[in-house]
């Protein structure tokens, strides 16, 4: 297609380009680039709610393998990334299982009218969700009790916030997919923005704030 664009820009007949390229390859003038197999990334969407529905539907239109789960004891294998959707706090048992299995995971939820995406956890490389909980507990001793209630609570927000949060999450998921395919090694700009970071999207203000998370000294990750 690029050669046809160039041919058209010079006023040439674009219909002859495919045959010309074939002829040059057969004569050994040019070499055909070997076709490389690009593995389809495997994404699992875990949760029940509007974000789960939106992300699953959108990802199924992409060149990825998509699966869904709702049970806490769902299998942790066969996925490059598990997206933890809708619940305000991810179930700690599932989070532990994912971390122990070395499976990357990304929380996506809405809270108090704000979309929250991240942090993206890559076990053994980044801080983890327990690190974030421990940091919260340092600031608020009541956090562990509150978190136990929120892990069964689906966040609510207006339609615009839910859609915007899903879009922001899809952008991050796309960056993970490109990393799986090796694209990020060639272009660091496509690296995920949620590494050790939660993106907080306030649709009303049109602002995205980044909350950084460091490893907690009391966490074993």
- Is residue 25 located within the same domain as residue 120? no
pLDDT tens digit sequence for 170-180: 999 999 888 87
Residues 146-157, mean pLDDT to the nearest whole number? 92
pTM: 0.79
Give me the chain's average pLDDT, please. 86
pLDDT of residue 62: 84
3: containing domain:
1-35
Q: What is the maximum span of the chain, computed from C-alpha positions, in angstroms?
A: 75
Asked if 23 and 49 sit in the same domain, the reply is no
Torsional sign, CA 141, 146, 151, 153: negative
* Collapsed DSSP state (helix, strand, coil) of residue 3: helix
Report which secondary-structure segment, H or E, holds 114. strand 114-117
What is the DSSP-derived secondary structure letter of residue 87? B
For residue 41, what are the CA distances in angstroms to 125, 167, 180?
Answer: 20, 19, 7
One domain, residues 128 and 65: yes
Residue 86 has pLDDT above 70, yes or no: yes
- Is 144 within a domain? yes
CA distance 85 to 48: 7
100 and 12 share one domain: no
Asked whether residue 220 is domain-assigned, the answer is no
* 131/19: higher pLDDT: 131
Instruction: Give the model's pLDDT for residue 197.
Output: 97
> Does residue 162 share a domain with residue 109?
yes
- Per-residue pLDDT of 5-62, as tens digits, reads 555 656 666 676 677 667 666 766 666 665 555 667 899 999 999 999 999 999 998 8
23 and 107 part of one domain = no
Residue 116 reports pLDDT greater than 80 = yes
Q: Is residue 218 part of a domain?
A: no
Number of domains in the chain: 2
């Amino acid at each position: 297609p690029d050669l046809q664009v160039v041919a058209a820009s010079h006023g040439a007949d674009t219909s002859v380009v495919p045959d010309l390229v074939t002829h040059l390859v057969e004569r050994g003038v040019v070499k055909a680039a070997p076709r490389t197999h690009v593995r389809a990334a495997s994404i699992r969407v875990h949760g029940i709610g509007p974000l789960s529905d939106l992300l699953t539907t959108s990802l199924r239109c992409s060149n990825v393998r998509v699966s869904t789960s709702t049970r806490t004891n769902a299998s942790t294998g066969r996925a490059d990334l598990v997206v933890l959707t809708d619940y305000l706090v991810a179930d700690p048992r599932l989070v532990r299982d994912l971390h122990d299995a070395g499976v990357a995971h990304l929380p996506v939820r809405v809270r108090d009218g704000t979309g929250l995406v991240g942090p993206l956890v890559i076990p053994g490389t980044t801080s983890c969700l327990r690190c974030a909980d421990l940091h919260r507990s340092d600031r608020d001793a009541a956090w562990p009790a509150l978190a136990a209630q929120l892990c069964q609570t689906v966040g609510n927000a207006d339609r615009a916030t839910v859609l915007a949060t899903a879009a922001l999450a899809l952008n991050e998921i796309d960056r993970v997919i490109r990393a799986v395919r090796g694209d990020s090694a060639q272009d660091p700009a496509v690296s995920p923005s949620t590494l050790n970071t939660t993106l907080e999207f306030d649709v009303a203000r049109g602002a995205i704030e980044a909350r950084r998370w460091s490893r907690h000294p009391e966490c074993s990750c």
